[in-house]
Structure 1
Amino acid sequence: MAIQRMDNVAIVVEDLDAAIAFFAELGMELEGRMEIEGAFADLAVGLDGIKSEIAMMRIPDAPGRLELTKYNAPQAIAASPPVPNTIGLHRVMFAVDDIDDTIARLRPHGAELLGPEVAQYENSYRLCYLRGPAGIIVALAEEIG
């Protein structure tokens, strides 16, 4: 028995439209949007009375999807935004063509660099972490070498 693929990473957000706009600006495409509720959802997730809306975002012409989820019931629980050394999901990283342009396009959507500037690793990559929707950490990498 073998794993077939990693299907997606899910992110719970408060403002689904804003999260869709953020990841669309990054270059992802909205694959679909739907409401989720019922016994199957309650059983799969382990919560009672689920009413949520999801948006599946995909990377054009490449594997990789994000499921953005807004819980209407039960109400989503807000926690402090994670920092890079928080135990659990660390970050989601995207390879981009132009890191400076990407940051500039994401800033109007609330993106903030976690460090003072973009870092450079030798002559290979420029990298940064930034805060994205729902406080998640989004990493960007631009290959330069």
Structure 2
Amino acid sequence: MALKRMDNVGIVVEDLDAAVAFFLELGLTLEGRATIEGDWSGKVTGLHGQRVEIAMMQTPDGHSRLELSRFLKPATVADHRNAPVNALGYLRVMFAVDDLDETLERLYRLGATLVDEVVNYQDVYRLCYIRGPEGLLIGLAEELG
């Protein structure tokens, strides 16, 4: 049996509304919001008695999703948002954009900061990392030519 697809990447946030607004500005669409709770959900995650508010965001091509989660119960127990890019574990989400400069200008207005600088990779891509809402590490890439 073959792998069919990757359905989504999950990111835990404190301010779900701000995270949704940021990713809407980036160009994702909001598929829906819901509160997830009940015995079944705790059996999946191992956090019995959990209550989580989620927002499912979809990329414009319809192929990828980002699940933003705010834990109401239990409280979050660790914070990896300010880990350097060489830390073990999940690093970042990378998005392809049409116009990197225009995208950065829009995201700066929502508090995004450039990690270091925009670089040209072999005249194929312009790339950068930004810190988005709550310090989330996000990669942006503009294909050249």
> Which TM class, normalised by the smaller chain length?
over 0.9
Cα displacement (A) at 1:73 = 0.4
- 1:19-34 paired onto structure 2 within 5 Å: 19-34=19-34
* 1:107 paired residue number: 108
Which stretch shifts more, 77-86 or 20-29?
77-86
**Contact 1:94–1:141 under 8 Å retained in 2:** yes
Amino acid at match of 1:139: G
Matches of 1:90 and 1:23 in 2, distance apart? Answer: 17
In structure 2, stretches of 5+ residues that fail to align are: none
Matches of 2:78 and 2:135 in 1, distance apart? Answer: 10
* 2:90 paired residue number: 89
Matches of 2:23 and 2:77 in 1, distance apart? Answer: 22
Cα displacement (A) at 1:78 = 4.4
Amino acid at match of 1:97: D
Q: Deviations over 1:44-80 (max 9, x none)?
A: 0001210110000001233110000000000123425
Identity rate, percent: 55
**Contact 1:82–1:137 under 8 Å retained in 2:** no
Matched residue pairs, number?
144
TM-score scaled by length of structure 2: 0.94
* 1:16 paired residue number: 16
- After superposition, the Cα gap between the structure-2 partners of 1:53 and 1:13, relative to the gap in structure 1 and judged at 3 Å, is same
Q: State the SS of the aligned residue for 2:109.
A: helix
Matches of 1:36 and 1:101 in 2, distance apart? Answer: 36
- 1:1-145 paired onto structure 2 within 5 Å: 1-80=1-80, 81-115=82-116, 117-145=117-145
TM-score scaled by length of structure 1: 0.94
In structure 1, stretches of 5+ residues that fail to align are: none
Instruction: Give the aligned CA root-mean-square deviation in angstroms.
Output: 1.1
